[in-house]
Structure 1
């Protein structure tokens, strides 16, 4: 047992050295409670046009089916809260996670280094896979099971020190590691996030209807944005942080120290006019390594045009 605990601490130390903000461990199991909630969410059509959420249902709720022989989920968090914000208060806004380099690459690179370290220095028989918001894995559920936070009423993971401006990744591996203990939910009677949502996408505590969510409508939604949302986006052009800005757990959260998340030097200085006159070459230059590429120039231009509608 001592050897397992010692190995666990070595993994924790290496994860923090690599720049992860926190790390936790949980035992691979069938997520029975999450299965009920996910099925209800899908049955209600709250996943909107994200039909891929219906795929691989059994694997989503049981990673043993996704990664054969796995026994442990190693959950990692990476803080992305920026030091600086966009300077023009009239300019269209980006979700803060999209300021810098695409987090998929940043987290995957660090997870690969962590995996290689465990295999070479601790457990030579290591096998497994790494994930970050890119496969049928319930990232937030595993982070909760690993003691890294709780699910807030805005459906985001909330960490006691880091708030909710965190990205989640996992190693699902065949090494047995002592699991951590989940912590208690600490939102209390607060409903600031629900009250702040201008499109009423948060239809109740812990219930998000993606059909009304600004993040969904500006990124995943491929058609024209429905006219019913005209004037309700509060100038968000890619993603949305409104429910996070409203959350008291974020008010004193420290900014990230991850250099890869620093924005293009021109991005935060862009004026309202510069955003609305953005051409494709400038888009490519600004967002070459950014998550904003997901919506492509055509999608971002659609969003910017929608913001101009009165």
Structure 2
């Protein structure tokens, strides 16, 4: 069985790289005992703001066998989205790098389904599910457990080889595999650049992020009006935020992605400040078709931009 486990693990990793994933690690599907108190305290402190879905399925978040019957392995994958392209008008409301191209949910889900089909075709009757931000899975915990990196002081997963501009995804399957060594080291050292740079003080302490203060949360997850306490603190971000990653020294190792679907839409990069401010619903649908920016909808993006304008009056 051990030989088969090692062989199957290598087959899966090789195919994952062929599909365009940057890295692949495998962990045993088991209860995340260390995460339980951390998650409970985070929720009790109301660090999730309006993200009430974080309170749901507490047990499922910690136990993959409740998501997939007889789960044996969690296959964690990373997909690079780093780009050196930038919005041309530096005064225009800013959009996070990850949303420059096609919606990552769609792109990654297709790759995961291909990987699962490969496993079934080449290994046999294997049951499993694909996860991309769409279910109660603690992706950073699993990625660390499968040796892909450590969680930095901004709570993002960081790789020594690639920084942190990548997406995380998982396959949970009922196949026993060879498991990677968890990433135990912390390479942040005494650096506090992400903490110092966060304009809303969302990184309340090393490794602890108050999600309800994060600019990404305020511009995407928050459905109500952005609280006035964040006036003059948004740094012109209209969708998401890259600040804590842009200042991270490990991102000097980030290299441009090779994923055609993430190629930045020129229409988006060329939007100037006036065009974004005066954007109509029709233009929004045209420019952001197939983009993750659709998550906030036209009304959400307009709310964000109006908030940025109001703080400059």
Give your verdict on TM over 0.5: yes
User: Is the partner of 1:167 in helix, strand or coil?
Assistant: strand
Conserved in 2, the CA contact under 8 Å of 1:83 and 1:256? no
* SS state at 2:297 partner: helix
1:52-71: CA deviation from partner (whole Å, max 9, x where unpaired): 00000001001111111110
The reply on whether 1:303 has 2:304 as its aligned counterpart is yes
Q: CA deviation at 1:192?
A: 0.3
Deviation at 1:251, TM superposition (A): 2.1
1: CA distance, partners of 2:213 / 2:4: 50
In structure 1, the residue matched to 2:286 is: 285
Equivalent residue, structure 2, for 1:43: 44
Deviations 1:35-85 (A, max 9, x none): 110000000000000000000000100111111111000001000011311
Does the CA-based 8 Å contact 1:245-1:251 persist in structure 2?
no
The answer (yes or no) to whether the contact 2:28–2:72 under 8 Å persists in 1 is yes
Within a 5 Å distance, the mapping from 1:51-90 to structure 2 comes to 51-90=52-91
* Cross-structure match for 2:129: 129
What SS class does the counterpart of residue 32 from structure 1 fall into? coil
Structure 1 residue 277 displacement after superposition = 1.4
Look up the match of 2:201.
200
For residues 268-283 of structure 1, the aligned pairs below 5 Å read 268-283=269-284
Out of 81-90 and 39-48, give the one that drifted further: 81-90
Instruction: State whether structure 2 residue 242 is matched by structure 1 residue 241.
Output: yes
- Once residues 94 and 286 of structure 1 are traced to their aligned partners in structure 2, the CA distance between those partners, rounded to angstroms, is 13
CA–CA separation in structure 2 for the residues paired with 1:242 and 1:200: 12
- Please tell me whether the aligned partners of residues 225 and 306 of structure 1 are also in contact (alpha carbons under 8 angstroms): yes
Q: Specify the alignment match of 2:146 in structure 1.
A: 146
In the TM superposition, what whole-angstrom CA distance separates every residue of 1:104-147 from its partner, at most 9, and x where no partner exists? 1111100000000011012x120011101110000110000000
- 1:265 shift after superposition: 1.8
Contact 2:152/2:186, CA 8 A, preserved across alignment: yes
What are the ranges of 5 or more consecutive residues in structure 2 without an aligned counterpart?
Answer: none
Counterpart of 1:16? Answer: 17
Secondary structure of 1:75's partner?
Answer: strand
Aligned CA RMSD, in angstroms, stands at 0.9
CA distance in structure 2 between the partners assigned to 1:269 and 1:297 by the alignment: 18
Q: Tell me the SS of whatever aligns to 1:104.
A: helix
Distance 2:139 2:178 in 1: 19
Distance in structure 1 (CA, Å) of the matches to 2:176 and 2:211? 37
2:188 is equivalent to residue 182 of structure 1: no
C-alpha contact 2:215 2:234 (8 A) present in aligned 1: yes
State the distance in 2 between where 1:76 and 1:213 align.
Answer: 25
Count the aligned residue pairs. 309
Structure 1 range deviating more: 204-213 or 294-303: 204-213
Measured in 1, the distance between the counterparts of 2:9 and 2:35 equals 27
The question of 1:266 aligning with 2:267 is answered yes
SS at match of 2:266: coil
Distance in 1, matches of 2:270 and 2:252, equals 23
Identify the range of structure 1 (207-216 vs 44-53) with the bigger mean alpha-carbon deviation: 207-216
Q: Which residue of 2 aligns with 1:104?
A: 105
Judge conservation of contact 2:85–2:264 (CA < 8 Å) in 1: no
TM-aligned CA deviation for residue 161 of structure 1:
1.3
**Local SS of the residue matching 1:299:** helix
Q: CA deviation at 1:3?
A: 2.6
CA distance in structure 2 between the aligned counterparts of 1:19 and 1:211, rounded to whole angstroms:
33
